[in-house]
Amino acid sequence: MINKEVIVIGAGLAGSEAAWQIANSGVPVKLIEMRPSHSSPAHHTSEFGELVCSNSFGALSPDRASGLLQEELRTFNSLIIKTADSYAVPAGGALAVDRSKFSKSLTDVLSTHPLIEIKKIEQLDLPEKETITIIATGPLTSDELASKIKIFTGIDSCHFFDAASPIIYGETIDHEVVFKASRYDKGDRAYFNCPMNKNAYINFRNELIEGEQASLKDFEKESANFFEACLPIEEIARRGVDTMRYGPLKSIGLWNPDWGDLFNRENRLKKRPHAIVQLRKEDLDGKLLNMVGFQTNLKWSEQKRIFRMIPGLEKAEFVRFGVMHRNTFLESPKLLLPTLQFLKRETLFAAGQITGTEGYAAAAAGGLLAGINASLLAKNKSPVTFPNESMIGSLINFISNKNQIMSSQKKNKFQPMPATFGLVPELTHRIKDKKLRYKAYQERSIKVLQRFKKILDKYFEKNDLLAEIN
């Protein structure tokens, strides 16, 4: 007989969202988090939903893939996105948060929910099959539990190396040099921009390439590979002289009014910096600033020396230096159904970045679906799948057993995937203009999901709507 209490292992973004969805459906849930008794190389606090890398959830606009995913989560009363909206900080066209207030709020809400029991212990094994369980331990799953998952699945986990950017004190930057602007003037002047001329850029690049790297500790160095969306800045620099200038240090779209008329072509070509380093607020007051795109594996002493070469940061004081860590994920297409249940055990779910989705909102989406389906299973109802026309549905389809994309991937190697319009089904009528096409994807998704939610809400009350919802 299936136990009516659900266990969620891991109180990151996916686990927090899953616990919230389960408890709000009226099902008791036990949320297990190993911190602070046992921490990971990348975590700094014991709060739930700690953002270990960037503080950005991606573009806000719903006609962008990440923005659409956020909007879909709002449709389903996502705790993660609701909290992110509440503690947003200016970031141009992106949703960025005050990470400290964000995590503290999540912890407070979940810790005081009457149907959520918090257990701060390290989970060393998988619960018995009679217990509905969600594995939401993320890419930093402890070695002990990871080994038990490997035994259960019979498949080695995959991994890649990820890195986090440094954070500096806002009061220590030189405001005579650094100027505020957002690219293409989108939104508020939310970013602090450090302009670099060509000589400064070349010298900076050379030092990055020659800088001493931190040890990878117990990781297998010969098998190290990086996730392309989070390459260390020194790895980007090694790929070519101008690679950083076409990536995180591009100056296009950023302009200081003190330089004169932006629309005067001669003036623009003469005064545009060779490269620009951007800083994004970590809090509303700008007391803490994140170095955008500056994930790194440089030694801390090297970070301090080299990053102080950036104009305006000569006296920068660091709150936190960048770090590298190994991210573990499952070969999900061989293991999971589109409901996020394991093929080998219907009472066991996986959610979040451990499944091979990439990005904060995607982690929350996995937690939302796993939470909904665990709740349904506890109520003796069959789990559901999200419509493929939605960003949630298409992303879960990519990582699930029914995923058809695997057959065309090089070497049949599964790699993490962020939200992207490349995953959603084509429109009935081809739209050539990309902006209009993405807008059409957005409108279709919201329309489909609103209908889906109405049926799902009824399904929680009645069991005869399964055919209609699936």
Instruction: Calculate ∠ Cα 330-225-289, nearest 5°.
Output: 95
- Cα separation, 117 vs 105, whole angstroms: 17
What pLDDT does 135 receive?
A: 96
What pLDDT does 103 receive?
A: 95
Separation of first and last alpha carbons in the chain: 25
Pairing relation of β-strands 88-89 and 94-97?
antiparallel
Domains and CATH numbers, the chain: 6-161+327-469 (3.50.50.60), 167-322 (2.40.30)
Single-letter amino acid, residue 88: A
Single-letter amino acid, residue 243: T
Q: pLDDT under 50 in the chain at which residues?
A: 218-223, 404-411, 467
What pLDDT does 409 receive?
A: 46
What pLDDT does 96 receive?
A: 92
DSSP readout, 285-332? T-SEEEETT----B-HHHHHHHHTTSTT-TT--EEE---EEEEEE--G
Global pTM value: 0.78
Q: Which residues of 11-24 are buried (b: 16+ CB within 10 A; e: fewer)?
A: bbbbbbbbbbbbbb
